[in-house]
Amino acid sequence: MQDRTVDARSLGHAELPPLAEETQIMVMPALPAVTTIEELLALPDDGLRHELLDGEHVVTPSPAYRHQDILAHLFFGLASGLAGRPDIKLLTSPADVRLGPRTLVQPDLFVVPIDPKARPKDWRDLARPILAIEILSPRTARRDRGSKRRIYQRAGIAEYWIVDPDARLVERWRPDDARPEILDQRITWAVDATAVVTVELAGAWGE
């Protein structure tokens, strides 16, 4: 497949599918109503991923093998590129990433800046991520592209990557984007003024 990175920058951004994520939100009917972070964190541990999206409680079951296989590929690529950076931490969920008084998210992968001399001891100590990554599944795709994408943009997350295993591409969003940049060969991420990380996508899809 031809690399479309240059085309995405020169020809504009890709069209988005219709937003209808609200019809796909999975709510746990047996649990009490949850509208605050405190209520969310008080829930018993059931092995599922609980998030609060602008006060909307959503629950996601354990991911499929392919999802985790792609996650491992991306983690290795990012970890290799970030080696030697004690001021930057690459993490995976389960996590409690607070982006507002009624918003707690669990990105599949995310990167946060840290102070090496005062390392976080609790999720509350984390700085806001500079990169968030969600890997699409049939249950989460509309939400990841819709409500969560808007939350990440509104929170000022510098980059949000939506990984589409079926299309074998990544949609890159920045806070002011109306449409994503489409990448299908590699992702080049300017971490800051001194570091650039490149993640190859060729081995991500399990061939």
Mean pLDDT of the residues in the chain: 86
Q: For residues 204 and 21, is the Cβ–Cβ distance under 8 A?
A: no
Distance (Å, rounded) from C-alpha 111 to C-alpha 127?
Answer: 10
Residue 149 has pLDDT above 60, yes or no: yes
45: pLDDT strictly greater than 50: yes
What pTM does this model have?
A: 0.80
Q: Fill in the DSSP letter of residue 17.
A: P
Q: Is the model's pLDDT at 182 over the cut of 90?
A: yes
**Does residue 26 carry a pLDDT above 60?**
no
Query: Is the per-residue pLDDT at 132 higher than 60?
Result: yes
User: Exposed, middle or buried, 20 (CB in 10 Å: 0-12/13-18/19+)?
Assistant: exposed
**What pLDDT does 190 receive?**
95
Residue 172 pLDDT > 70: yes
Q: What is the pLDDT of residues 60-103, one digit of tens each?
A: 888 899 999 999 999 999 999 999 899 999 999 999 999 999 99
Number of other residues whose CB lies within 10 A of the CB of residue 34: 21
55 Rama sector, left if φ>0, alpha if ψ -120 to 50, beta otherwise: left
User: Tokens representing 34?
Assistant: 């949850």
Give the distance, in angstroms, between the CA of residue 78 and the centroid of all CA atoms in the same chain.
14
What are 56's strand-pairing partners?
53
DSSP string, 127-190: PPPSEEEEE--TTTHHHHHTHHHHHHHHTT-SEEEEEETTTTEEEEE-TT-SS-EEESSEEEEE
Is the pLDDT confidence value at 18 over 50? no
Average pLDDT over residues 168-181: 97
Q: In terms of pLDDT, which residue wins out, 200 or 116?
A: 200
Report how far apart the first and last C-alpha atoms of the chain are (Å, whole number): 14
